[in-house]
Structure 1
Amino acid sequence: MRFISAKTLKPGMVMASTVYNGNGQALIKSGVSVTNRMVQRLIQLNIQYVYIEDGLSAGIEAADSIPAKVRQDAVNKINSTFSHLEKNSVSSNLVALEQSAASFKEVIDTILNEIKGSGDLLTLLTDVFTYDSYVFHHSFNVTLYTLAIGIELGMPPKQLDMLGLGAIMHDIGKMKVPEDILMKPDKLTYEEFNEVQKHSEYGFDILRQLHNVSLLVAHCAFQHHERLDGSGYPRGLKGDEIHPFAKIIAVADVFDALTSNRVYREAMLPHEALEILYAGSGTLFDANVIQAFRKSVAIYPNGMVVVLSDGRRGIVEKQNKGLTHRPILRIIAENGEELSQPYSLDLGRSLDTTITGFDPEFESRLMEV
């Protein structure tokens, strides 16, 4: 399978990964040969990248980090819980939230088992979704990334459970922010931006009233936008004033926000988003957390066509655990020409060669499956 720009899709190309809508329903299934109408529909839906099957990438697989059913079940629970806040009284909300906390713990256990059982680096690029409800999918993704960081940092099970609950509910306060502000495609006014920032306080006020949830979970909602240098909100906390859980969730939150399509901008790719995080390492974000995250996520996912420092093109074939920036490649072009006999290159061994870019529009002569 090969990762390409949706704009380069042509009728007859075979999808290698299912495209879902926000409710988890398949829009275009894996194995389907796309038509011109399907291509236009994907572009209208702002799908930027898809996976295709072709002869060039035969045998390359990019397994889902989390099964689609597990993801959708979790998102449905988040959706049900969060939406309840918009429609019911305070007392009714608290009862519903306390009941949901127990079901969220089941979600967290499932995610932990999936991460520990797979042994692979995380990538959500294989999960192509059109996000009708960004907050719900975002909460799931942040939980996934947060728990991966926690595992990499060697946190014990009880801490992972609490960290996961803080992550899954970190944005619950956004249900108190008007949807027309959250989904506004234009630049927010000063007043609107202030209202969005209040979601941290709204979330804290909601969660601190729950009897079966630790106050620490409420502080995850309160502090996930704080930054080491004091430039965050709502209280401008610095350094050790910020709880370690909030520092972890902050990294996961920013990474997922950057790599998700939003109404006001297109998604970045993992390596681009990681560069943003590195730019704030030690000043905005905890450097140890970023390092743990880097070891957990596939910066260059399988199937991606990358550009090397010597001009060669290669498809990411496999990952090198612990060397996420130096995967194993299938070299498909050199000296400006596609090779009739591609060969393997392990960047974990070829240390004089580096990845310098990404080529989502690589045109292949070998389009047969």
Structure 2
Amino acid sequence: MLDKEKFEAVEVRFLKPGTVLSGILYDEEGTMLWPARKLLTDAFISKLKVKGIETVYYAPPKWKQAPQKTPMFTEASLGFAQTAFDEIVTEIRYGKLPDTNRAREAINRFFSEMEARPNGFLNLLVLKDYDSYTYQHSINVGILSMFLTKKLGFNTFFIKEVGVGGFLHDIGKIKIPIAILNKHDNLTEEEFRIMKYHPIYGFNIAKNDPSLSSYIKKMILFHHEKWDGSGYPLKLKGDAIGNFASIVSVCDVFDALTTERAYKKPYTVNEALIYIMRNTGNHFSPYVSQRFINEMSKMYDLGSFYPVGAFVHLSTGEIAYITEKKEEYTLRPTVAVVVNHKGVPMRTPLQVDLQRDVDRHIVKTIDDPDEIERLSLLL
């Protein structure tokens, strides 16, 4: 049953073809009816009326902060992190080998507070001065990366290593001209070519630092690689990127999308998670991005991005329909396979409990209305 306190009700009689809502549409039972940010069609609205559905529900937009919750991190630790990053940047600008132990100390403080307040809210820094974007963004990515690594089940050593990697991922931008970093318009082809060197510059800064592990150095170098091989600087593909760089990558994109800049409005959390979902399997690792989407949905009290009624791509190449969930935010619900790995519709849907079937997992949801309509005919 849908928790109506977390959702906004919309009467079907007010829906119009062409309307776009920011969240997934559900019925009262919590079954998915329509994907987020897709134009409503006359056929869909008519179907709701035929079924006698008078009210639908969706998750309203959420921004990056939720001040009504207990913050996970203290102002003192956030301030310490900003000072630490500023000192690292200053040393790099003067041609010195930076003392990255400051980054590690900042992450250690965040880790201790995360352990002490596991149910607290990730109180990320909110940008107030556009010139300090790189500083605050780097701290946020460090926090998010550490949090996601913990949720993925890695041990304390790796949680802290990925936190430091996220904290330092953009240090190469210090070598990029300010005019390019702060440009309000789209970068020219030549400017973007220069910008794409920043992971290499960052790696060159970090490579001779004996206090930084190879994991951290790879995170700095690989954080703009994409799952399908279209990223930079090395065009790595799939598992060659590694889980840790993939963690920093998805956290980097989320914070960048949800941060206001002088030249762009921020995405809501909903919009940023939808963007990540739609780019899972091409830009982002399915293993990493799905868990990130799920954890952020919980953190911001959003509905699950894997609701009952959703069609999903499975790791086997099959297409399935979510039929049952034992808990709201599970990534392993019960599904009915409706299209086999060859793309052929099943005569009889195959019921699979993903909790027990370790050979199958969800890669991403399907949110194209035309494809949803076509697949619905198979049920």
Query: Does TM, scored on the shorter chain, surpass 0.5?
Result: yes
Partner of 1:113: 112
State the 1:296 CA deviation.
3.0
Trace 1:1-369 onto structure 2 (pairs within 5 A): 61-86=68-93, 88-89=94-95, 93-94=96-97, 97=98, 100-120=99-119, 122-124=121-123, 128-131=126-129, 132-298=131-297, 301=300, 323=329
Question: How big is each residue's C-alpha offset from its partner over 1:170-218, in whole Å with a ceiling of 9 and x where there is no partner?
Answer: 1000000011110000111111111111101101111111122123211
- Give distance in 1, aligned partners of 2:285 and 2:194: 27
- Give distance in 2, aligned partners of 1:124 and 1:239: 31
- Give distance in 2, aligned partners of 1:264 and 1:323: 35
- Give distance in 1, aligned partners of 2:293 and 2:113: 19
**1:49 to 1:226, Cα distance in 2 relative to 1, 3 A:** closer
User: Which SS does the other structure have where 1:226 is aligned?
Assistant: coil
- Give distance in 1, aligned partners of 2:271 and 2:178: 29
Q: Name the aligned partner's letter for residue 79 of structure 2.
A: Q
Question: How big is each residue's C-alpha offset from its partner over 1:252-291, in whole Å with a ceiling of 9 and x where there is no partner?
Answer: 0000000111222111111110000001112211122123
The aligned length equals: 245
User: Which SS does the other structure have where 1:250 is aligned?
Assistant: helix
- Give distance in 1, aligned partners of 2:328 and 2:152: 13
- Give distance in 1, aligned partners of 2:287 and 2:239: 14
Name the structure, 1 or 2, with higher relative contact order (CA <8 Å, separation 6+).
Answer: 1
- Give distance in 2, aligned partners of 1:145 and 1:73: 17
Q: Is the 8 A contact 1:200 1:222 kept in 2?
A: yes
Q: Name the aligned partner's letter for residue 110 of structure 1.
A: R
Question: How big is each residue's C-alpha offset from its partner over 1:112-149, in whole Å with a ceiling of 9 and x where there is no partner?
Answer: 12222222264447x54403300010111001110111
Partner of 1:357: none
What RMSD in Å do the two structures reach over aligned CA positions? 2.7
Q: Is the 8 A contact 1:229 1:283 kept in 2?
A: yes
Q: Name the aligned partner's letter for residue 128 of structure 2.
A: T
User: Which SS does the other structure have where 1:130 is aligned?
Assistant: coil
The sequence identity of aligned pairs, in percent, is: 31
**1:122 to 1:277, Cα distance in 2 relative to 1, 3 A:** farther
User: Which SS does the other structure have where 2:221 is aligned?
Assistant: helix
Q: Is the 8 A contact 2:172 2:202 kept in 1?
A: yes
- Give distance in 2, aligned partners of 1:149 and 1:66: 16
- Give distance in 2, aligned partners of 1:50 and 1:248: 19
State the 1:298 CA deviation.
5.0
